[in-house]
Amino acid sequence: MYRKDIEPLLINSTITIKEVINSINRHGCGIALLVDEKKQLIGTITDGDIRRAILSGLGIQTIASVLIEHKNTSPYPKPITALQGTDPNILLALMRKHAIRQVPLLDSDGSVVDLALMDDLLPGDALPVQAVIMAGGFGTRLRPLTDNTPKPLLPVGDRPLMELIVSQLRHSGIRRIQVTTHYMADRVKEHFGNGNMMGVEIDYTNEEHPLGTAGALGLIPQPKEPLLVINGDILTNLDFRAMHTYHQKQKAELTVAVRQYSYQVPYGVLECDGPRVIGLHEKPTYNFFVNAGIYLVQPAALELIPKERRFDMTDLIQALVDKGQVVSCFPIVEYWLDIGQTTDYEQAQKDIREGKFSPGDERQNPG
């Protein structure tokens, strides 16, 4: 058995996408199994399926059966399954062939009896990604908190903010981390050292003058693997393994994590055709995807970053788009908070106290 209890993974067709997200987050396997009353498999809903559905406009109150119908028109319409008792090496080859991390195991009647996970077949499997934490900012909007303390060392709960980020990266299987520094760089280096105490390897790149959110990437040694770039003021439970799998499937040069943002216009909005009014929308709500400050970048994309001048990630994204390269967006459905100002910092403390955010090393493996 790969899962001692398959029941928490099973869902019916009437539950909402929001409930599916909650289910996946609870059991940490990255998948929910849609079954009928005999536990026969109807379909699977993975982390990636949910994010693609959200990007296509499905709301989180949409029921699971609609998501399955939507999935039938995607490049991944049918679940990859295997019979109970299949050799683990065959299961692992199946996962690698289809770039998946879970395979439902069925009996001869097609009923779900188990779930094979790559994390069980390859325990301690490292994620082939190097992380970059952007920790050089002045934290101007957080003053006076940052007058004598660099933002990465501000306590959130009982630990510095950057410790929580490093913990989340390590929990996801990332062992090599580059930290870009500028403001109070020595304080950051003194606290984290080479990273051994946290089970990672940390190297530092200091910006003599601020180079923007992408400019500093031009200073680090050329990587062989993708870079996971995260702003040093982000608090999140984002599943980095899921983001990496999504990035691979999209064959993207750069994947940017996005957060859904809604804005309600506080007035009636007129729709006009020249001088004629052809419609009226009372206090409409518009939904947008906004940049969440987390990126996966292929090594080749770094060649577009100019040396020794300011260059932001938005500039890199535009440069890749202009060249016709694939830039994909990855919607965040987990906890996420940008600690950019004092109200955000206070919110982070409240969320820690209320258990809305838990560091990676205090949660089960996300799978």
pLDDT given at position 3: 56
On whether the CB atoms of residues 258 and 332 are closer than 8 A, the answer is yes
Based on the fold, state whether residues 144 and 254 are members of the same structural domain: yes
Based on the fold, state whether residues 159 and 65 are members of the same structural domain: no
Low-confidence ranges of the chain (pLDDT < 50): 1, 362-367
Please write the tens of the pLDDT for every residue from 24-60: 877 777 888 888 888 888 888 888 888 888 888 888 8
Q: What whole-number distance in Å separates Cα of residue 15 and Cα of residue 58?
A: 14
Residues 6+ apart with CB under 8 A from 196: none
What is this structure's pTM?
0.75
Give the pair of three-digit tokens for residue 350.
């409240």
Based on the fold, state whether residues 307 and 282 are members of the same structural domain: yes
Based on the fold, state whether residues 286 and 317 are members of the same structural domain: yes
Residue 343 lies in a domain: yes
Instruction: Identify the domain boundary among 121, 148, 180.
Output: 121
Question: Looking at the DSSP assignment, which residues form a beta bridge with residue 225?
Answer: none
On whether the CB atoms of residues 20 and 27 are closer than 8 A, the answer is no
Question: Residue written as tokens 């050799």?
Answer: 87
On whether the CB atoms of residues 9 and 115 are closer than 8 A, the answer is yes
Cα torsion 190, 193, 197, 200: sign? positive
Please write the tens of the pLDDT for every residue from 8-19: 888 888 888 888
Based on the fold, state whether residues 255 and 189 are members of the same structural domain: yes
Which domain CATH number covers 24? Answer: 3.10.580.10
On whether the CB atoms of residues 276 and 285 are closer than 8 A, the answer is no
Residue 58's domain comprises 7-121
Closest-CA residue to 302 (of 231, 200, 223, 237): 223
